């Protein structure tokens, strides 16, 4: 399994709705509102890095209210 953190910036006042919607997506482990330069942090998993990319582009980025995402795959060094 490949896991990643997805850092999300949202439109003003949309963080809670975005986190709630993304939390329903298959492959999302958690989606939480945070403070700082990002509004929502998501932990997701998929079987391959390509599948993870499709999850982000086809499902996460399509949620209304998102302005920018940054995907950070987890590595085991």
For 22-41, what is each residue's pLDDT tens digit? 999 999 999 999 999 999 99
**Is 2-73 assigned to CATH 3.30.70.920?**
yes
Question: What is the per-residue pLDDT for 76?
Answer: 87
Cβ contact 58:13 at 8 Å: no
Question: Residue 71: how many CB atoms within 10 A of its CB?
Answer: 19
Looking at residues 10-24, what average pLDDT do you find?
A: 97
For 36-67, what is each residue's pLDDT tens digit? 999 999 999 999 999 999 999 999 999 999 99
Domain boundaries, the chain: 2-73
The whole-angstrom distance between residue 3's C-alpha and the CA centroid of its chain comes to 11
- For 2-17, the DSSP string reads EEEEEEEEESTT-HHH
């Amino acid at each position: 399994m490949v896991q990643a953190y997805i850092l999300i910036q949202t439109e003003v006042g949309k963080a809670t709705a975005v986190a709630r919607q993304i939390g329903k997506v298959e492959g999302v482990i958690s989606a939480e509102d945070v403070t700082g330069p990002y509004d929502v942090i998501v932990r997701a998993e998929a079987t391959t890095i390509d599948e993870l990319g499709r999850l982000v582009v086809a499902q996460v980025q399509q949620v209304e209210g998102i302005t920018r995402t940054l995907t950070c795959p987890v590595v085991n060094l």
